[in-house]
Structure 1
Amino acid sequence: MTAVTAIGNRRGVDGVALACIAVTVLTWASAFVAIRVGLRALAPVELAAARYLGAALPAGLYLVLRHRTVPDLRTLGRLAVIGLLFITIYATLLNTGELTIAAGPASFILNTMPVFVAVMAATLLGERFGAGGWIGTALSFAGVALIAAGDAAGLHLDTGAVLILGSAVCAAVASILQKPLLARMPALAVMAWVLILGALPFLLVLPSTIGALAAAPAAVNASVLYLVLAPTTIGYATWAVVLKRLPAGRASNFLYCVPPTATLIGFVWLGETPTTLGLIGAAMALAGVAVVNVTRRR
């Protein structure tokens, strides 16, 4: 959910920006919990299809009303690759991982995405990445390992954590690929195209998705509708507003609030109680991301 980046201006955090930050954090944090509810009746790929095919409709409407110009073939090709990574593969991996990983730990694992962005930027773009960056990276991965290795049932390797880590890698690659596009296209237009193109492969499972939704209980259908409207449609829109009003680096700092918020919502909504080992791992993962970002900006 943090792959969209842009360059904002240097104004302070005004009321509009603060409100949009709050909406973004709450909706993106609650998405992890809503996914857990949706997985009670839908397969991971079906849940992804319901969420993103639904979100592709308002995205298409936005493009028709605001950006009718179709990008050139080269740009469309890049957008399609980004959509495949950030929507199709990302959502399938995340949903599959959340079959066994609770909402809070899942959000902490996914929040390692900036670490992958920093490593890729250093490797591919020549950006600075010193000893502090590697220390932060090691700290984050050690935290993820703790989350993956322990829960209430004791120590074991949870492949769900590995899959969610894979979704973070997909989001990081998408972030690197879209940087050139954001220099010449509005952030919302880029996201709209990514949503539409990334949702297209899910048409293959549309019949089974419709059948699963028809047979699902009301709570599951409500969670799917919530995923379409709040985290995907509204959350991305409010984040774009934040990026227009604040520098990207400053705006991204607020996303550190997403994992703790997801943990709290998971506890209130689903009664998911984090283990001591999981809390230690979560703290290490978040601290590692902070170290990487601070080191990278110096």
Structure 2
Amino acid sequence: MSTARKHPRILAAGAAAVTVVLWASAFVSIRSAGEAYSPGALALGRLSAGALTLGAVWAVRREGLPPRAAWRGILLSGLLWFGFYMVALNWGEQQVDAGTAALLVNIGPLLIALLGARLLGDPLPRRLVAGMAVSFAGAVTVGLSMSGGGGSSLLGVALCLVAAVGYAFGVVAQKPALGRASALQVTTFGCLVGALACLPFAGQLVHEAGRASVPATLNMVYLGVFPTALAFTTWAYALARTTAGRMGATTYAVPALVVLMSWAALGEVPGVLTLAGGALCLAGVAVSRTRARRGGADRAAAGRPLPERVR
């Protein structure tokens, strides 16, 4: 028996961990690239690098086109998550401080759990709800400790909120597609859809690339290859093997890792309140990832047919 069949939960957990680490690393890169690129140009550059990387892997593996039944989810997730979310978040982070942005975007996992229960029929076990509550409290603590008073605007708050909504609906739309196509297919064509949606920013990208510093451009390419191409693929692999709510809860580890990475890479020493918030985030993720004795929720998510309304 293959390793993939003997240890599916371990592989899915490992894929989720890769996603969380790479998405946390994106925080530092976005700060660098965002100094030289406008929100739409940065999103297009990132998605273009991601689509080229994923397209090369897809061509080598010869996985073919996704089946027709998967395209609705691919198109919706590509437009809402890969495209709309990235532009809105990049724009929002230019209007508000990092702590406020992190706090507002972390509404996303809560929305994912609620939408997953409503639209996909996902269960909402008590441990998941409790873990998300603890993690959200940690995210609030980290956000407040990192906020640089007075650095927020109404426009920035609104942009971060709509980014969180786009993120949540994109994830929920992606889940059914993963029951009909591979993680690589869903991610590759979702990224391509997002890149095509951002083509109106092509002129800005060309103009800004000519003036941007090499580190800023390299950070944009890094965002496309690793936090997008690799991390979104490992996310899709793990999402196909668990519920949307449980995967959303896992992303609450991102604020804690961002604190540690900023400390190591940027020399930004976190305060006691920030460390406490990060610890709460990790504790909540640990609670949400534990399973009831029967483990029925994930088995049901992996094996039951999808509700008719999301097919």
TM-score by length of 1: 0.75
2:48 maps to 1:53: yes
**Hey, what does 1:5 align to over in structure 2?**
none
Residue 105 of structure 1 contacts residue 263 of structure 1 at CA under 8 Å; is this kept in 2? no
Which segments of 5 or more consecutive residues in structure 2 lack a partner in the other structure?
Answer: 298-311
The answer to whether 1:266 aligns with 2:268 is: no
Question: 1:86 aligned to 2:85?
Answer: no
Structure 1 stretches lacking a partner, 5+ long: 1-7
171, 180, 197: which is aligned to 1:201? Answer: 197
- Report if aligned partners of 2:72, 2:177 keep a CA contact under 8 Å in 1: no
Aligned partner of 2:165 among 155, 169, 181: 169
Q: Percent identity?
A: 33
Match for residue 236 of structure 1?
Answer: 232
| 1:147 Cα deviation after fit | 4.9
* Contact kept? 1:32, 1:107, Cα under 8 Å: no
Aligned position for 2:113: 118
Shift of 1:145: 4.7
CA displacement at 1:168 relative to structure 2: 3.3
Give the corresponding residue for 1:189: 185
Within 5 Å, which residues of 2 pair with 1:74-153?
75-99=70-94, 100-102=96-98, 110=105, 113-129=108-124, 141-147=136-142, 149=144, 151=146, 153=148
**What is the identity, as a one-letter code, of the residue corresponding to 1:232?**
T
Q: How far apart, CA to CA, are the structure 2 residues paired with 1:54 and 1:206? A: 13
Residues 269, 105 of structure 1: alpha-carbon distance in 2 compared, 3 angstrom cutoff:
farther
Closer/same/farther in 2, CA of residues 168 and 279 from structure 1, 3 Å limit: farther
Q: SS at 1:42's partner residue?
A: coil
Displacement of 1:206 = 0.5
Q: 1:142 to 1:22 in 2, by over 3 A?
A: closer
1:179–1:12 distance in 2 versus 1, CA, 3 Å:
closer
Deviates more, 1:37-46 or 1:283-292: 283-292
Aligned 1:24-35 pairs, distance under 5 A: 24-35=19-30
| Mapping 1:56-71, distance limit 5 Å | 56-65=51-60, 66-69=62-65, 71=67
Contact kept, 8 Å, 1:105 with 1:282, in 2: the verdict is: no
CA RMSD of aligned residues (A): 3.9
Q: Distance in 2 between matches of 1:285 and 1:138?
A: 9
Query: Per the alignment, in what secondary structure is the counterpart of residue 198 of structure 2?
Result: helix
Work out the CA distance in 2 between the residues paired with 1:197 and 1:111: 25
8 Å contact from structure 1 (residues 49, 205) kept in 2: yes
Q: CA deviation at 1:134?
A: 5.7
Cα distance, 1:282–1:165 mapped onto 2, change above 3 Å? farther
* Higher normalized contact order (CA 8 Å, seq sep 6+, divided by chain length): 1
8 Å CA contact 2:106–2:164 kept in 1: the answer is yes
Letter in 2 for 1:56: A
User: Is the CA contact 2:53–2:225 (under 8 Å) kept in the aligned structure 1?
Assistant: no
The SS at the match of 1:215 is coil
TM-score scaled by length of structure 2:
0.72
> How many equivalent pairs are there?
285
